[in-house]
A = this chain, B = another copy of it.
Amino acid sequence: MANITEPRTLSGFMELLPDRQVIFDKIRRKLEDVYSLYGFYPLDTPVLEYSEVLLAKAGGETEKQIYRFNKGDTDLSMRFDLTVPLAKYVAKNAGELTFPFKRYQIGKVYRGERAQKGRFREFYQSDIDIIGDGELSLVNDAEIPGIIYRIFTELGITGFTIRINNRKVLGGLFELFGLGGNEAEVLRVIDKLEKIGGEAVKEELESLGIDMKAASELLELLTHKRSNAETIEALRAMEGRSELLDEGVNELAVVTGYMSGFGVPEENLRIDLTIARGLDYYTGTVYETMINSHPEIGSVCSGGRYENLAGYYTNRKLPGVGISIGLTRLFYVLNENGWLCESRRYPSEVLVIPMMADNCTQVSDGETQSTKNRVQRADYARAIEVSEYLRGRGISTQIYFEKKKFKARIGYADKLSIPFCVFIGEDEIKEGNLSLKNMADGTQEKYSLEECAAAIKKALADTGSAALVKSL
């Protein structure tokens, strides 16, 4: 070919090498498995939508980042999150959906942000939402942290904290401390608490014209370390002074009250009165999830309760609660820090290697021999038989058919981190057995086909943990 085009990939678009992609996909599957275990429907909406529909609500920064274009006379945009498509979907199909509608969606979204390390223009979001028709029981808010807990635990992450708060608690406290009119600004400043510290926050609050005494009292309440029960108690002490506060405290008490039932230990769920999340979207419970040893990463899984999902598309009131994991960013962080379990990066558990010499006279694989030699290669035939047997027992197996030196064949297993090799040479065919090599410890033994499958199954089970992420 005379003209060679350089095979480039757009910057900001994650394209992984195979041994990374296989772990990424195992993580994605784990999320799907857990969502399904809780009865969430999968949902798959188009990547492209009418710009008019997708941008019904958007504005400012978001709109500038949109991939938007015309095809014919249609104004199209690529989705920039999975919430707007969900709102459109539920509004469009409300008559045919059964509520509460529980769905998960794991899909790519697009934002033309300035390219920089760790920021992506195409990235996966992994969302779950429970949408009610008119109303939605508060107990659904308690199930969400149960799902987060199971996901992180099953991925192998142990040291994480789900932070929970309630916007009504914050709103009630603002009322009590006379900060009502400044809610948005105060929240924005308080959100920076962890980054800039209490003193700087107080200064910023003062510059907003807020009474220093009130600011101090509020900050003490918000930031003093307490157990969940103590926090509820501290809030209960203010009972009767603000209806909004009382309602929020009660909600927080109910949601955290069911936590142990959902299997979430106290150390993994902490009431944190400083978290606020989105300013105009969430109205009740809010969640964040932090890796304890790495707070600098920020929240890896966030969400909350909202009063109305789809006000831009329907007059039907659709309250909901949900969380979102920025999957591409989470994977990027795990990978960059070396926190992925490298033992899970293989594409198959077994490589079967036919070992007879390629110039073996009584056989032919048909590629180079004359058409007179119609016999199958005995080691290929046996390799196929063995592989089918193993696959039938759920063991992922591939065969190395290429004519390469032994070193290249075993090197293939090695490079792909395949944990087991099965060798089939003339001896094994004569004896009706197989040589099984455990690539991890280098041991090699002869087995019957049945024994071989059992030995592989046992060894895979013994390696135990299906964790995809190192314990953080």
A interface residues (Cβ-Cβ under 8 A, vs B) = 1, 3-10, 13-18, 21-22, 24-25, 29, 32, 36-50, 52-53, 56, 67, 69-72, 74, 76, 87-89, 91-93, 96-98, 100-103, 108, 110, 112, 122, 132, 135-140, 143, 146, 150, 236, 239, 246, 249-251, 253-254, 257-258, 261-263, 310-315, 347-348, 351, 365-367, 371, 374, 376, 380-381, 384-385, 388, 391, 394, 396-399, 401-403, 412, 415-416, 418
With A44-B24, A71-B112, A246-B371 already in contact, the answer to whether A18 and B139 are too (CB < 8 A) is no
Give the complex CA separation of A257 and B37 in angstroms: 44
Contact B39 A398 (CB under 8 A): yes
Contact status A103-B18, CB under 8 Å:
yes
How many copies of this chain does one complex carry? 2
* A139, B32: Cα distance in complex, Å: 35
In the complex, the answer to whether B17 meets A96 with C-beta atoms within 8 Å is yes
* Known contacts A5-B52, A314-B7; A42/B69 CB under 8 A: no
- 8 Å CB contact of A40 from B56, B97, B246, B347: B347
- B53 A5 Cβ-Cβ under 8 A: yes
* A138 touching B366 in the complex, CB below 8 Å, given contacts A4-B312, A67-B48: yes
Give the distance in Å from the alpha carbon of A29 to the alpha carbon of B376 in the complex.
34
Residues from chain B with a CB closer than 8 A to the CB of A418 are: 39
Q: How far is the CA of A385 from the CA of B260 in the complex (A)?
A: 9
Smallest distance from the beta carbon of A18 to chain B beta carbons, Å?
A: 4
* Distance from A368 Cβ to chain B, minimum over Cβ atoms (Å): 10
Q: Which 10 A-B pairs have the closest CB atoms?
A: A39-B398, A39-B348, A254-B366, A69-B69, A137-B401, A261-B384, A13-B46, A7-B92, A5-B56, A7-B313
Least Cβ–Cβ distance between A454 and chain B, in angstroms: 18
Contact partners of A6 in chain B: CB under 8 A: 53, 313
29 contacts between A and B (CB under 8 A): A3-B312, A7-B314, A9-B45, A9-B46, A9-B49, A10-B46, A10-B74, A13-B46, A15-B89, A16-B44, A17-B96, A18-B101, A21-B44, A22-B41, A25-B32, A25-B42, A36-B396, A38-B397, A40-B347, A47-B47, A69-B69, A98-B412, A100-B402, A138-B365, A146-B388, A236-B371, A239-B371, A254-B366, A262-B388
Q: Which residues of B contact A402 (CB under 8 A)?
A: 100, 132, 135-137
**In the complex, A315→B2 CA distance in Å?**
9
* Closest CB in chain B relative to A347 CB, distance in Å: 4
Question: Which residues of B are found within 8 Å of A40, using beta-carbon distances?
Answer: 347
A380 touches B67 (CB 8 A): no
